[in-house]
Amino acid sequence: MPLEYVVLHQGTFVYTRAHGILTDDDLILHEQELAADPHVAPGFRQIIDCRWVADDRVTEALVPRLTRLHAKVVDKIRGARYAIIAHSDQWFEVGTLYRGDPFHITLIVFNEPSTACIWLGVDLNTLRIHHADKEPTPPLVRHMSHELAPIGLFP
């Protein structure tokens, strides 16, 4: 799967990196994993960093699939904030189509990570610590380390 994530600050922040070919199915599987992950706190904040995606195969069909999935995991997802760092224009289309109002989810698409971090209240250095500024090299291992949170970076 072309997604890896790390869970930080007692589960309230998830940093996800996407790379290679990214499809609707990949994102649905990722969301299912987050919903099932006991380290991820309800109402979490997440950055989905798509700067290393070589081929975005994300379509508008993702939106109703996400809505159906989120309806099943509403206790975990209610109040979540998603910041997508876009690689292509279609992310902005997906962002405008997704309406998380029934679940009080906010999803905003950004061009670069610093603005996304400001919006989420995350120190940009948190991403740098996890090599967010370096291109992933296969094979990647999905990380689920909640013990790696730098002390003092979160309110």
Residue spans per domain, the chain: 3-148
- Tell me which residue of 81, 69, 82 sits closest to 33, measured CA to CA: 69
114 to 52, 72, 108, 110, 122: CA distances (angstroms) = 16, 32, 13, 9, 9
Read off the pLDDT of residues 78-137 as tens digits, 9 standing for 90 and up: 999 999 998 777 776 776 666 655 678 888 899 989 999 999 999 888 777 765 555 555
- The CATH T-level fold of domain 3-148 is Transcription Regulator spoIIAA (3.30.750)
Q: Could you tell me the pTM of the whole model?
A: 0.80
Query: pLDDT tens for residues 17-42?
Result: 999 999 999 999 999 999 999 999 99
> pLDDT category, 145, cuts 50, 70, 90?
very low
Q: What is the percentage of the chain residues whose pLDDT exceeds 90? A: 43
pLDDT band for position 153 (50/70/90)? very low
